[in-house]
Amino acid sequence: MTIFVVDVESDGPIPGDYSMISFGAVVLDESLEHTFYGRMKPISDQWIPEALAVSGFNRQETLEFPTPEKTMNEFTQWIAEHARSRPLFFSDNNGFDWQFINWYFIHFTGSNPFGFSSTNIGSLYKGMVGDMFKNFKHLRKTKHTHHPVDDAKGNAEALLYMKKEMGLKISLK
């Protein structure tokens, strides 16, 4: 299994009515050097200015981004090039990130290389420490900037810490 840590930025709360603006992914390995950054133009006329502002882009900028078809096909190819085995999707907030990635894959490529499941890093950490009120975010090294590659990398660093320092049995192959 090859773990991909993914982070999404959008202009609203759900796919279809709103748009995924950008996303980042990193292969979970010792180097964390294999990253992907995708941007795409909006698919809807609806958008929430406060939600879009988190991404650091304005609406006019996003209208110049590549099509979702192009970006999602490039992401599919990148996953295939970097998956040493079955690709697994991990994220900080998989309820949010997964819904966008899955919807965009199905809608724009016809299939999702991750299958139909995902793993929430926060829930994994809470289970490891046996406390539903604990948060893993202090384990990140890379600052959380809302650039999706930075955020995915920080979350991958937390997973590496859980493996090395806390005994999480997780494959880096």
Count Cβ atoms below 10 Å from residue 66 Cβ, excluding itself: 13
> Given a cut of 90, is residue 7 above it in pLDDT?
yes
Q: What is the pLDDT of residue 48?
A: 98
What is the model's pLDDT at position 172? 87
Share of the chain above pLDDT 90, in %: 98
CA nearest to 104, candidates 155, 156, 40: 40
pTM equals 0.97
- Note the pLDDT of residue 171: 86
The full set of domains in the chain, from first to last, is 2-166 (3.30.420.10)
Got the DSSP string for 21-43? EEEEEEE-SSS---EEEEE---S
Strand order in the sheet with 35-39: 35-39, 20-27, 2-10, 87-91, 119-120
Dump pLDDT digits (tens) for 55-87. Answer: 999 999 999 999 999 999 999 999 999 999 999
pLDDT tens readout for residues 116-153: 999 999 999 999 999 999 999 999 999 999 999 999 99
Is residue 149 within 8 A of residue 26, CB to CB? The reply is yes
139: which DSSP letter? Answer: G
Kindly indicate the confidence band of residue 173, based on its pLDDT and cuts at 50, 70 and 90. Answer: confident
